[in-house]
Structure 1
Amino acid sequence: MSLILIASLLAGAAVAQTVPPPVELFRRTPGPHASAVPASPPQQQLGRWLMSPVLCAGAAGSDVTAQPLVRAPDPQRFLGWSGTTPRRTLTVDFRIDRDGRPLSIARRGTGEYVYVPDAEDVLPALAASRFAPGIARDRCTATFTADLTPIAAAPIDDVMAYSVFPSRAPVRAIWDRLRPPGSTCTDPAPDVLLRAFPAFKAMPDQPGYRTWSMTGYDLDAAGKPRNVRTVAGSGAASLDLGARDAVARSRFERGARVGCLYPYFKGPAILPAPVPPEEDAVRPARATCPQHHGWNRAPVLVYPTTYQRRSIEGWAMIAYDVAPWGQTGNVRVLQAEPSAEFGDAAMAMIRNATLPSSDTGYTGCVDRVRYVIRKPGTPSVTPEIDAPD
């Protein structure tokens, strides 16, 4: 039908010797979710998470107060792209115990899970932070907002922090920003004859968080460092001092150079989980599930990766029922600490497990899943289910 209509219009135009208006077979109009295409090509940017003031409410919902920080959360920097779509924010609810430790950390519910890009380290970073000790505080909240800046204009401290703890392999623009003006210490870099390191074990423990120090130096004709200085870091004085001493003791091939950089970092110490309750304390009164049971298909024990990186331990109390053929169901989290993400991981384990078949099935099963980080010489991370086989 469309082809016939077009032919008729063209024939009429030839007789009348006039130019007809253009024929539009279909016109696409922007829908309500249409977004403008930027005039310039997307640009890679360096992102960081900024936290709003932390507010905690009183028992009656009044007396909302801002909470002073002793150690602010420092979520991992990330790479993103410029565009017209605004980044989502992430609002977190939690409580603060008498020692100033944030606990019961959970994303604010929105009815369904909403993915927030590059936010995987936000809740673990909050778990490793500290507030002023004193009294316990409930109903606390904070909102994290992504702040992205073109790599060429990003603060050099953020660029260095990303190079030390990258979320993915640093791009060329990161290395270009790291090179000091007039540096002769790259392309090629001098051979290292002796690389000294700080005495990391003598430094204070840092449960759940990492520190870093970027040391700048020049080399004399003999390859000995001079003008050793701290150019950036996370503010750990002991690491800054140890890093400068280690660089001064290092040796390189002969040849004078300027503008050299080297980073040192100290990994996190284990941040233990708070003491979990006993299973009997949360077991339903009319539970028919035996306290000691085996598994037909055992849970696949997986430690949450983002908490593993920070050496943060946790636990979750999981309740569920069991069908006569052994399939678990009605799986739910009763409690989880220090973050709800431990409960999410434990619930996924139990959902994929099965128990031996029985005549009637069970109700009110409760298992305590503990996420334990082992000391050197044993497996590094091990989730454990306390219910004996």
Structure 2
Amino acid sequence: MRAILFGLGLTLTTTSALANTTDQATQPLGTSPVRIDSVRRGERTIEPTLLQIPTTEVTCDGATIGPAYADDLRIESTRHYSNDGSVLQKPEVVLNFAVDETGRTRDIRPASMADPIDEIIIPARIPSDQEQAALAAWRFAGGPRSNCRLTIRYIAKPVAEASRNDLLRYFAVTRTRGPLRDAVAARLAGPDANCGGDRRGGRSPRTVSHPDDRIGQRPPPGGRSWTVLRWDVDAEGRAVDVETLGSSGDAAFDAETRRAVSNTIVQGGVPLKGCVFNFHRGGDRLPAPDLPEREDDPLQNCPAEVRSRFQARGAPDSFPVAFRERGIEGWALVRFDLATWGQVGNVQIIDAQPAAAFGDSGRRTVQSGRAEPSNTFGVRCVVPVRYVLPTNPVSGEPVRGDRSDDSAAD
């Protein structure tokens, strides 16, 4: 018999931070890439900063393989040197995973987790959410694979020694705010740049043109692409000398973003040089893998009456952020005991897909649950916690927005 998936199926819904609909998929980031004054004020602040440049290696059953699709990993930054002044590199991140028959990655687990015997028990702290989310969007050819491993090693570089490609990846993929991003943008803009201000050189727009998302090749579900442009503005407010500094490789989309910038007109004035901006777009929503059937648990004692008593409602921010931003859904199977006085205990994650990060969030959701006191207790109850992005009822696409605003229990 199939084991009881006890109680409620918690469904956590949130809005996607990725641009998944046609009308928003290519909107530029909302912060200025170049703020000359803040760069000058922050010179001492960013001086000791190191960029941690990731490199990757993938093996399956010990053999090195390459992904059919992989987008760029974030470049992190640190401010630490050793006591002797030498550079400290970020420790490597190792993720174990499998590939299903469609080429999609699943069973993504930090390598520090012990290999399961008959079920997956996920510990309380899950590192590397950003890396897990990126790997969840990768694809592999050649059919199902097991015993796969992604090793991410970091090369630490002072900002002043970073290559242009490093700076582009930090600017477009990491997408932070603050003095470091401003300093990186100033490097990309060139020594004569004066295009400061919040947006478009601080000039109010007269005509705004957005790229057509139908042009070029959209990333696969959960994936991301980017392009960085630099241009000048003449006295009449028209963009001139528009060029692509770098991108994730979609030449058609690069050309379309140049067209959009060229057709955008701002208020006239003193000519501006070195305006820098990046456009990004994401693939469609990536649904969670199917929930598996489970065998009966002979140690389970979880009467149906417990189902009506137990209540848990996930917080709006419990959807793992790195996955929400990419539009990747997931689930966790959570096991717990319930005392007669209503307290939840012995909470464990027995499975989470496509990555362990969903298990960490699922644990917190169930741990926050309570029940009315009763004479009935529950032992080894199992509840599925689903992380679902809401869709537009007309288009079927995820609704726009950067933060989750709804969570519900079935």
Q: TM-score, normalised by structure 2?
A: 0.72
1:359 aligns with 2:375: yes
Q: Which residue of 329, 332, 343 maps to 1:316?
A: 332
How far the C-alpha of 1:69 sits from its partner, in A, is 1.1
Native 8 Å contact 1:77 1:166 kept in 2: no
Aligned residue number for residue 304 of structure 1: 320
Native 8 Å contact 2:330 2:353 kept in 1: yes
Where do residues 105-116 of structure 1 align in structure 2 (5 Å cutoff)?
105-109=108-112
1:72-126, CA deviations, whole angstroms, 9 ceiling, x for partnerless residues?
252222221241244322111111112221110011126787886xx44111111
Residues 207 and 169 from structure 1, CA distance in 2 versus in 1: closer, same or farther, beyond 3 angstroms? farther
Residues 151 and 285 from structure 1, CA distance in 2 versus in 1: closer, same or farther, beyond 3 angstroms? same
Aligned residue number for residue 150 of structure 2: 142
Structure 1 stretch 350-359 or stretch 216-225: which is displaced more?
216-225
Residues 219 and 369 from structure 1, CA distance in 2 versus in 1: closer, same or farther, beyond 3 angstroms? same
Aligned residue number for residue 294 of structure 1: 308
Write the letter of the residue equivalent to 1:180.
Answer: G
Write the letter of the residue equivalent to 1:310.
Answer: R
Q: Distance in 2 between matches of 1:259 and 1:325?
A: 66
How far the C-alpha of 1:239 sits from its partner, in A, is 2.4
Aligned residue number for residue 193 of structure 1: 206
3-state secondary structure, aligned to 2:187: helix
Q: Which residue of 297, 304, 315 maps to 1:284?
A: 297
Cα RMSD of the aligned pairs, angstroms, is: 3.0
Where do residues 237-256 of structure 1 align in structure 2 (5 Å cutoff)?
237-252=251-266, 253=268, 256=271
How far the C-alpha of 1:222 sits from its partner, in A, is 3.6
Q: Which residue of 56, 59, 62 maps to 1:55?
A: 59
Native 8 Å contact 1:49 1:146 kept in 2: yes
Unaligned runs of 5+ in 1: 1-40, 58-63
How far the C-alpha of 1:357 sits from its partner, in A, is 2.6
Residues 291 and 209 from structure 1, CA distance in 2 versus in 1: closer, same or farther, beyond 3 angstroms? farther
Native 8 Å contact 2:287 2:329 kept in 1: yes
Aligned residue number for residue 94 of structure 2: 91
How far the C-alpha of 1:331 sits from its partner, in A, is 1.7
Q: Which residue of 124, 130, 152 maps to 2:133?
A: 124
Aligned residue number for residue 262 of structure 1: 277
How far the C-alpha of 1:178 sits from its partner, in A, is 2.4
Write the letter of the residue equivalent to 1:306.
Answer: A
How far the C-alpha of 1:146 sits from its partner, in A, is 2.3
Residues 157 and 194 from structure 1, CA distance in 2 versus in 1: closer, same or farther, beyond 3 angstroms? farther
1:325-348, CA deviations, whole angstroms, 9 ceiling, x for partnerless residues?
122222222211000111111012
Higher RCO, Cα 8 Å, sep 6+: 2
Native 8 Å contact 1:224 1:251 kept in 2: yes
1:174 aligns with 2:200: no
Native 8 Å contact 1:157 1:233 kept in 2: no
3-state secondary structure, aligned to 1:160: helix
Aligned residue number for residue 345 of structure 2: 329
Native 8 Å contact 1:320 1:365 kept in 2: yes
Native 8 Å contact 2:189 2:230 kept in 1: no
3-state secondary structure, aligned to 2:308: coil
How far the C-alpha of 1:183 sits from its partner, in A, is 3.4
Q: Distance in 2 between matches of 1:114 and 1:316?
A: 15
Q: Distance in 2 between matches of 1:333 and 1:247?
A: 48
Q: Distance in 1 between matches of 2:63 and 2:230?
A: 42
Native 8 Å contact 1:288 1:364 kept in 2: yes
Unaligned runs of 5+ in 2: 1-45, 83-87, 115-122, 394-398
Aligned pairs, number:
334
Write the letter of the residue equivalent to 2:254.
Answer: D
Aligned residue number for residue 158 of structure 1: 166
Q: Distance in 2 between matches of 1:368 and 1:114?
A: 19
Q: Distance in 2 between matches of 1:287 and 1:56?
A: 36
Q: Distance in 1 between matches of 2:389 and 2:134?
A: 17
Q: TM-score, normalised by structure 1?
A: 0.76
Native 8 Å contact 2:222 2:286 kept in 1: yes
How far the C-alpha of 1:275 sits from its partner, in A, is 1.2
Write the letter of the residue equivalent to 2:99.
Answer: I
Structure 1 stretch 298-307 or stretch 310-319: which is displaced more?
298-307
Residues 364 and 257 from structure 1, CA distance in 2 versus in 1: closer, same or farther, beyond 3 angstroms? closer
Q: Distance in 2 between matches of 1:135 and 1:212?
A: 29
Q: Report which of the two structures shows the higher radius of gyration computed on alpha carbons.
A: 1
